[in-house]
Structure formats: structure tokens, C-alpha cells
Chain A
Amino acid sequence: MGSLFRSEEMTLAQLFLQSEAAYACVSELGELGLVQFRDLNPDVNAFQRKFVNEVRRCDEMERKLRFLEKEIRKAGIPIVDTGENPDAPPPREMIDLEATFEKLENEMKEVNTNQEALKRNFLELTELKHILRKTQSFFEEESARVEDTQALIHAEHLPDSQPLRLGFVAGVINRERLPTFERMLWRACRGNVFLRQTEIETPLEDPVTGDQVHKCVFIIFFQGDQLKSRVKKICEGFRATLYPCPETPAERREMAIGVMTRIEDLQTVLNQTQDHRHRVLVSAAKNIRVWFIKARKIKAIYHTLNLFNLDVTQKCLIAECWCPVADLERIQLALRRGTEHSGSSVPSILNRMTTKQAPPTYHKTNKFTSAFQAIVDSYGVASYCEVNPAPFTIITFPFLFAVMFGDAGHGLIMALFGLWMVWREKQLMNQRKDDGTWAIFFGGRYIILLMGAFSIYTGFIYNDFFSKSLNIFGSSWSMANISDEDIEKYDMIELDPNVTSIYKPRSPYPFGLDPIWNMAENKITFLNSFKMKMSVILGVLQMSFGICLSLSNYRFFKDPVSSVSVFIPQLLFLLCIFGYMVAIIFYKWIAYDASISYKAPSLLITMINMFLFKFPESQDDYLYSGQKGFQIFLVLLAVACVPCMLFIKPYFAWRAHKSGKRTVRFGTVQMQVNGAAEDTAVIMDQDEGEMPPPPPEGVSGHKEEEEFDIGELLIYQAIHTIEFCLGCISHTASYLRLWALSLAHAQLSEVLWSMVLHIGLGFQGWVGAVVTTLVFPAFAVLTIAILLVMEGLSAFLHALRLHWVEFQSKFYKGEGHQFVPFSFEALMEDHN
């Protein structure tokens, strides 16, 4: 059963692992990626599990690694990804790793703190340097002013004329804070202080954040101690740093020289610190990928080990897992390898168990089929061993897309795009992993390729290349014998296919639509009829196929009652009404030719009359002889199917319940009735047919049976029957979207040609070339944006809807859960 048609056969297995060997075995199973572990301690808190300490240590390691990674990224060192995949290291190596990370982290932290302190020092010195430079000019001005004021005061002969010594403070403040600072000073000191400021041109680096800030040098002159303290407080408030500035120019010059030397020394030290840090980070960057992988693997293993149960003897661990039957050999091999690695002598045991639980669904897909399987799974994961629509979707989905897209030129562009992505698969996979939209397109590259290829095919059938038709085989219509006066007189000429000179009888255009329709006024009227009928035909075909797949399901699950009482009436109902409609569509196409087409009865009226039991009088309005009797038979048959669908299955269920044996299944595999302890650990084949005999103390089991409610069954069946019957009609009509979208696409394409490219071609002489050169890129961009992306997405969506609702509702339950194996590969992909 190893194919895409149904889920792989899954079995619940019990693993008995020696405590020493458990780690290595889980590591091997993680590399293999074929088992899904069950949590055997569901009610145990995360902090009470057995290996919580190890998980904590792993978390700590990951935190240190993340810190290192952040530092490496900040320093701009590229992290090289060698693509190597190291195995999970044994537990004793974990201690070594922890020590290494600890050392690195401490070193980094130390270096960072030192660097910060050095930078702060450097900043102070730089600010001091600027202050000393700028304040030179202030003091020269000030001395002049002091002389002025001194002259004034002397003139006034103040009684207590103390020598006016202006005190000052010098400092540095953020440029943004300066205006407010000035205003505050002015207000607080009542205008008795004098502030001079200039800007420092080069921005200074803030030691903590590393940002560049602009600062200004200021100097405040004041008189008296009160003002001094007030000024100092305000400076503190505005976080301006004050520096001691000597008063005499000579001292200032000395200080400046000293500061310069100190700055130079500090710069050297800073450079060396930077180099050292860089070296440490570079050496860490070489290994950080590998370390991350190792740390994550260890953590994953310990998380898994936490799911296990400890045996009574405390010597071995018990695990329960789901695994595919076909791969049991490989799992056994992996377990043996693990036990060998750990050096334990006792082999690990794998026991198959039977259970009533529904196994997870597992489909083995490759890179081509996985995209289609993903589409199907988006609607609902297949119930265990149900028919999987994916293999059919591979063909029908691109086909229905193409029916709605239907332009060979656009299909070619799409197919080329898909082809490029498939061709450059390996390169593109390594390149871009971050962009979400691109990831979606790249993941569906095979779908895009197929959709494009099928669109080229339907483009040939609709004879549509960027809205123009190609005349490859020679049109079957000819205007050769139309008189010249007729051409002059009339704006529009009607070509009658009955006339042999116009249309050669029985020689239609070999493949696709005749190119003359591109020029015809009634092109859309003609195509409408054709496309609508085609949509309905495709719809009825796909739905009947869906119903046949449901038969496959009933036969697999050994449900003969359903096969007879559900499948046959459903199929008959569909075929009697809509299958008959498809048949008369084909009949009308074949039986009526141009000479008698005016007499052909309308199919829609025929169908309506069929249900109203209204029959025309004249013989002409019948499609074929015996139509009356046949149609009455079909309607009665279809109506007779409805009570079959409603009553037969509940009747059988009721009868079986009375006789005590349950052979009828409602829905899928029954959910687990008994507890986990009741699962028998006997090695036997998983049999889906007969239920295992009820357990001896099956009081609960009997109670379930006694509560068998015929009313509930009838309602369930009635709902499904009504859903099916009404669904037949509505789904058939729903397939008309195939017609609607292809019409929309053709019209959009035509509009784009006639409104955009036509402008370029419509200019006389060589001007046309110039204009076309400018117009063509606009045409190209609009084609891609509107017709490829927008229409493509639209057709994709509608084709998807047709599959999910109209096709899958006929047979698909989709109530399963996905098989998610414990796999390191999947883990690494998640983190990336």
C-alpha cells in the first residue's frame, strides 16, 4: 500500500529503551525522521518532568549562543554556513560545550564593559579638548567686556566696590537641549548670567548606545556664589557635563597639550581592544552554526525523552510512537545503531500494538508531488487510509486552471517562469529564505510549470495568443465568392456555412478554434455556447469520478451496505439527470449540421420539459425517436434513488443492531473507547475490518450499543441525501465558472491589445516605430501584472475551489491528522 493513493499503513509501536541507550537511540531516530512520539505524561507539568534540568541547561546554552550571534552580527562579521550537519553530541560532550560557551560569553561581556569604560573616558577627553579650543574666543571677549563693565562701575562710584570677578563654568550639552537650557537659565537667574555657546562640528559617539550625537560647548559667566550654585544645579538637571577650565590662557594651553596626549594613548588602547574583540568574534563565527545545530538537537532529544515513561524497575524507558509499517526495518536498524553507539549491551525492543485510535495519515511525497499534497491538505488532512485526491489533483488542477486561463502566450510566459525556477532549484533554495511571497511562488514551482504547460495547450484549443489567433492549418471558411458589390455595400457580411463556397462541408479546422472567429462579430455568442457546454461536461465528469472514488473507499473499509445503498443511488441520480444532459449535448453536436441547425431543439428547454413531463407535439422538436419514453424512465429512476439514499442504510443499521452484530460503519474509524492500558501489546496485523471482540468487562461498550438511536441515523442520512441532491444541481452550475473566467480572460487580453499595443501600431510611417518602442514596455508590464498575476491568482483560486468543494465533497472526509515525525531536519528548517 506504499503509494500516494492512500495513506501509508501506520502502526502504534512500543519502544523499550535502556536508560543509557535512550539518548543515543532517540538521536538516531531523530536523524531518521520516521517516528512520531506520543506524550505518555500528558498531565505532568513541564517543570516536573524527568529531564527538566537538562532542558534548562540547553536553554541556557541557546541563550549564550544567541548573545554571541547578536554580537557577531553587530560587528558585521559574516557567519559562514558550511551546510554541515553534525550529529547530536553525547551527554558528556554537553558539559564541554557549556564550558566553551560560558568562557566565550564571559570574555565578550568583559570586553564589552571595558570598551564602554574606555569610550566614556575618550568621550570626556574629546569634550574637554573641544571646550578648551572653543572657550579661547569666549575669554578674549570676556576680558574686554569685564574691562567695560569695570569702567562703568567705577564711574558710578558704588560704595562697596568689590573687584568684579566673573565666575564661570564650562561644559558640554546636547545640541537639542540647548534652547531650553538657555531659556531656563535666563528665567531662573533673572537674566543675570551670561551664556555663550558654539557647536561642536563633528558628532561624538555615545559610549552606551553607540549613536552619534551632536553636542555644543557652552560657557556661563555669573557673579556670586548663589548664582553659581543655581547654575550648577540647572546644568545637572539638563545633564550637561561640566569641566574644570583653567582661567589663564597659559594653563589652558598646557591642559590642551596634556589632553591631546591622553587622547592619543586612549585611541591606541581602544583600537587594540577593538581588534581583540574582533578576533574573538571571528573565531566564534566559524563554529556558531554548528554549535546552534548541536544545541538544538540536544534540546530536542531531551524534550522527546521527557515524553517517555519510566518503567517500574526504573531501568528502562518506555516510549509509544506511530510509525509506518513499511519502515519498521529501518527503525529497528536505527535503534540497533543507537544501542551500539552508547555501548549498552541490552538491545532495544520494538513492539507493535493494536489500538482503536485513529492513526495519523502519512503520504510519502517527493518534491514534485508535495506541492499538490499541500494543496489537498490545506482543505483537510485525509482520514486514515482514505482515498487521497492528490494524485488526481496533479493533472486535474492544472487542467481546470488552464481551461479558465486559456491563452497560449500567457501560458508560455508562465511555463517559462516555472521552468526557470525548476531548473535553478538548488541555487534558489540556498539563496533566499526570508521573503514570504517569493517562498510561496518558489514552493509551487512545479504547479506553476504544469499550469503554464496546460495553458499553452488550451491556448491552442481556444486559438488565443495574446488575444490574436494563429492560422496554422488554413481556415475552413472562405470569402472568395462574395461579390465585390456586397463588400462595398454592407458593413457586415453574414457567412452562411450552408453555402459550399463559403464553408467546405465536413472539413473543419483540424485542431482548435477556426481563426476566422477572431474577426467575427458573433464570436462571443458562438464561444459562449461552446464553453458553457464544455464546462458542464467537465463538471459532470469530475463529479462522477468523485462518486466512483467513494466506492473505492467503501470497498476498502469493507462497507458493503454503503456500496449498495449510497454509491449506486448517488451515481444513478447524477447520471440520470446530468449524465443524460451531457449525452444530449454530444448528441446535438453530432446529429445536427448546418443545414438543419435552425430546427434543433433547445437543450435547456428539453431538460426543463423533461421534469415537467411536458412533451412537444411536432416531431421536429424531438432530438431522437423514443425520447419521450426514455426521459420518463430516467426521471422516475432518479426520483426512485432518493428514498433509497434516505432509508436503506438506516434500515440495515437498525437490523444489524437488533441482531447484535455491528457490521455497519458510520463515519470513519471510531475514536478510542478504552484507555491506553487496554491496548494489547500483541504482535498482530492491523485489521480495519472487523472490530476486535468487546472486552469482557465491557459494560461501557454495551451501554454505547443500547443508546443506538434510529432517529439520529435517519436525520444524518437525510441531511446527507439532501446535501447530495441539491449539491448535484448547484455544483453543476458552479462549474460554469470555467466558462466565465475564460471569457473574462479573453476579453481582458483583447482590451489590453486594442487599448495599449494598438496605439503604437496605429501611427503612420516611421513614427509608429518610435511610439511602439515606448508603448511595448507598458504592454508587457500590464500583461504581467493584470493578466498573469491577477488573472492567474483568480483562476488558481477558482480551480482550487472547484476541487475542494465540488470534487472532494463527493467522497472525501478529510478528518485525519497529519503524521509529524520527530525529525532533526524539520526542526532545523523551522528555525531557519
Chain B
Amino acid sequence: MFVICGPKLSICGFIISIWGIIMMGLLGVFFLIKSPLLLEDIPATKADFEERAKVDAIFQQSAYNCWVVAGVYVFVGLFSYFQMRMNSRQQYVVT
């Protein structure tokens, strides 16, 4: 197995992944319960606001988006963690 990222990049990637998973996961939940504070963050035009159902659908789509992102970051996190292991092992071998 080989090292692609250096030690610092892999640690950064790992931390950002953890943060991304938690934050995007929670954000997804908040989109799902249609929090009014996130009203400005959904990709809806003025015309969309006429129908309640349409806005609900957009909220749901945003929620799914957030969870997809969280899922992607799970993989990024695993990859970064794996790289961290490779890097620390390489350190032992050299010394």
C-alpha cells in the first residue's frame, strides 16, 4: 500500500471529514424537519413558494443532498484515516 497524501494533509482531511459528517448529517435532519431558519438556504424561486408541496419537496431534496455529502465524507474520512496509518507506519520503517 502506498502513501498518496503526506502526514499533515491526511490529518487535515480526517478532521474535516469528521466535522463534515456531523455537520452535514445534522443539517440534513434540520432540512427534513423544514426548519424555517433554513428557508433562505433552499434553492427555491419566488414562484416555487406558491405551493406548499413544492417547497416541502425542495426541503427534502436539500436534506438528501446533505446526507449524500455526509456519505461522501465518510469515505473521505476512511481514506484519510488509512493514509494517516500509512504515514505513521512509514515513519517507523525509516527510523
Stretch at the interface among A244-252, A279-287, A765-773: A765-773
> In the complex, what's the smallest C-beta–C-beta distance from B75 to chain A, in angstroms?
11
Q: In the complex the two chains form, what is the Cα distance from A780 to B61 in whole Å?
A: 23
Given known pairs A766-B68, A768-B65, the reply for A780 and B41 (CB within 8 Å) is no
Task: Check if B72 is an interface residue, CB within 8 A of chain A.
Answer: yes
A-B complex: 8 closest residue pairs judged by Cβ atoms = A769-B68, A769-B65, A768-B65, A764-B43, A761-B41, A772-B69, A780-B16, A762-B43
Give me 4 other A-B pairs in contact (C-beta within 8 A), A519-B37, A758-B41, A768-B62 excluded.
A754-B40, A763-B43, A769-B64, A773-B69
Which residues of B lie under 8 Å from residue A780 when comparing CB positions? 16, 19-20
Q: Tell me which of B16, B37, B72 contacts A471 (CB under 8 A).
A: B37
- What is the chain B residue whose CB lies nearest that of A764? B43
Q: In the complex the two chains form, what is the Cα distance from A773 to B65 in whole Å?
A: 9
Q: Tell me which of A518, A754, A766, A769 contacts B37 (CB under 8 A).
A: A518
Q: In the complex the two chains form, what is the Cα distance from A780 to B36 in whole Å?
A: 24
> In the complex, what's the smallest C-beta–C-beta distance from B17 to chain A, in angstroms?
9
- Counting chain A CB atoms within 10 Å of each CB, the highest count among B16, B19, B20, B68 belongs to B19
Q: Do A515 and B37 touch (CB < 8 A)?
A: yes
Which residues of B lie under 8 Å from residue A773 when comparing CB positions? 68-69, 72-73
CB neighbors of B among A776-818 (8 A) = 776-777, 780-781
- What is the chain A residue whose CB lies nearest that of B58? A764
- Chain A interface main SS type: helix
A–B Cβ pairs within 8 angstroms, 19 of them: A469-B37, A471-B35, A471-B37, A519-B37, A761-B42, A762-B43, A766-B68, A768-B62, A768-B65, A769-B65, A769-B68, A772-B24, A773-B69, A773-B73, A776-B20, A776-B73, A777-B16, A780-B16, A780-B20
Which residues of A lie under 8 Å from residue B62 when comparing CB positions? 761, 768
Q: In the complex the two chains form, what is the Cα distance from A781 to B19 in whole Å?
A: 11
Task: Check if A468 is an interface residue, CB within 8 A of chain B.
Answer: yes
Query: Interface size for chain B: under 10, 10 to 19, 20 to 34, or 35 or more residues?
Result: 20 to 34
Total A-B contacts with CB atoms under 8 angstroms apart: 61
Given known pairs A519-B37, A772-B66, A780-B19, the reply for A765 and B72 (CB within 8 Å) is no
Query: Interface size for chain A: under 10, 10 to 19, 20 to 34, or 35 or more residues?
Result: 20 to 34
Q: Do B61 and A768 touch (CB < 8 A)?
A: yes
Which residues of A lie under 8 Å from residue B66 when comparing CB positions? 769, 772
- Counting chain A CB atoms within 10 Å of each CB, the highest count among B36, B42, B73 belongs to B36
> In the complex, what's the smallest C-beta–C-beta distance from B35 to chain A, in angstroms?
7
- Counting chain B CB atoms within 10 Å of each CB, the highest count among A468, A518, A768 belongs to A768
- Chain B interface main SS type: helix
Task: Check if B4 is an interface residue, CB within 8 A of chain A.
Answer: no
Which residues of B lie under 8 Å from residue A766 when comparing CB positions? 65, 68
Contact bitstring A457-475, B, C-beta under 8 A = 1, else 0: 0000000001011010000
Q: In the complex the two chains form, what is the Cα distance from A695 to B38 in whole Å?
A: 81
> In the complex, what's the smallest C-beta–C-beta distance from B46 to chain A, in angstroms?
11
Contact bitstring B51-67, A, C-beta under 8 A = 1, else 0: 00000001001101110
- What is the chain B residue whose CB lies nearest that of A761? B41
> In the complex, what's the smallest C-beta–C-beta distance from A519 to chain B, in angstroms?
6
> In the complex, what's the smallest C-beta–C-beta distance from A598 to chain B, in angstroms?
29
Q: Do B43 and A768 touch (CB < 8 A)?
A: yes
Q: In the complex the two chains form, what is the Cα distance from A469 to B30 in whole Å?
A: 11
CB neighbors of A among B65-95 (8 A) = 65-66, 68-69, 72-73, 95
Contact bitstring B12-32, A, C-beta under 8 A = 1, else 0: 000010011001100000000
> In the complex, what's the smallest C-beta–C-beta distance from A164 to chain B, in angstroms?
62
Q: In the complex the two chains form, what is the Cα distance from A754 to B39 in whole Å?
A: 12
Q: In the complex the two chains form, what is the Cα distance from A518 to B38 in whole Å?
A: 10
Which residues of A lie under 8 Å from residue B38 when comparing CB positions? 468
